[in-house]
Amino acid sequence: MPETSTPTPERRAIERDDRRKHSRSGRRTTDPHVNWRRVAWLFAAYAIYLSVRSLPSTVWSFFNSENTPTAG
């Protein structure tokens, strides 16, 4: 049977003289990227939010415990 398909061009063409610069392993451009600095800022902001949210009850309990008469 005669070969009817056209041969594929050489993979190691002259345009790609150094294959080390074009690695096929590792991170691809379509892979999701995690910005760890942004994650740290979000965690810090959430911690500040929780501490500010509980601040009124902390202040209230501080002043309330100071005004209670001691038994004696």
Is residue 72 classed as helix, strand or coil in its secondary structure? coil
36-53 helix and 55-66 helix, angle to the nearest 10 degrees: 30
Cα 65 to Cα 72: distance, rounded to the nearest angstrom: 16
Q: 0.75 exceeded by the pTM?
A: no
At 19-69, the pLDDT tens digits run: 666 666 777 778 788 899 999 999 999 999 998 888 888 788 888 876 556
- Using alpha carbons, select from 22, 5, 25 the residue that is nearest to residue 13: 22
Q: Spell out the domain ranges in the chain.
A: 34-63
pLDDT for the residue numbered 34: 87
CB 10, CB 16: distance < 8 Å = no
Q: Which residue has the higher pLDDT, 53 or 13?
A: 53
